[in-house]
Amino acid sequence: DVQLVESGGGLVQPGGSLRLSCAASGFTFSRYYMHWVRQAPGKGLVWVSRINSDGTTTTYADSVKGRFTISRDNAKNTLYLQMNSLRAEDTAVYYCTRAGGSSWPDNNWFDPWGQGILVTVSS
């Protein structure tokens, strides 16, 4: 079975940093684009970032550009999101999600999703 398991969330003060990890299994990780999507409490879904299959190309939402860094280790089947200069508005459940397919344009819809990890930015 395809599985994505996030870790690394928690409570952090404004201006602080946190690194999320997503362990992937059940598929050939190195063949797929990966994404992070977040959901603030009681709100809708917001795409955060994307990384291509070999990790050489990354894309970010404007709201996190310059503060967040997506990366991957294909040898460890793991996706990361380094989050710096965190703000209260970054408080959300963060989902790791795989691209629906391994070629364009299926790189940009999401299936499956991890269970999500809560990040709370508060003093």
Q: Is the dihedral of CA 68, 70, 71, 77 positive or negative?
A: positive
Question: Does 62 engage in binding with other proteins (CB under 8 A)?
Answer: yes
* Least spacing, CB of residue 22 vs other proteins, in Å: 12
* 94 in contact with other proteins (CB under 8 A): no
Query: Which residue in 32, 37, 25 sits closest to 54, CA to CA?
Result: 32
Closest CA to 97 of 44, 27, 43, 19: 27
Q: Does residue 47 interact with other proteins by CB under 8 A?
A: yes
Cα distance between residue 114 and residue 93, in whole Å? 11
- Determine, following the binding rule CB under 8 A, whether residue 89 of this chain makes contact with other proteins: no
Answer for which of 52, 59, 77, 120 binds other proteins (CB under 8 A) is 59
Task: Pull the structure tokens for residue 48.
Answer: 């955060």
The nearer residue to other proteins, 23 or 61, going by C-beta atoms, is 61
Shortest approach of other proteins to residue 46 CB, angstroms? 7
- H or E element at residue 7: strand 3-7
The residue ranges that bind other proteins (CB under 8 A) are 35, 44-47, 50, 59, 61-62, 95, 100, 105-106, 108-116
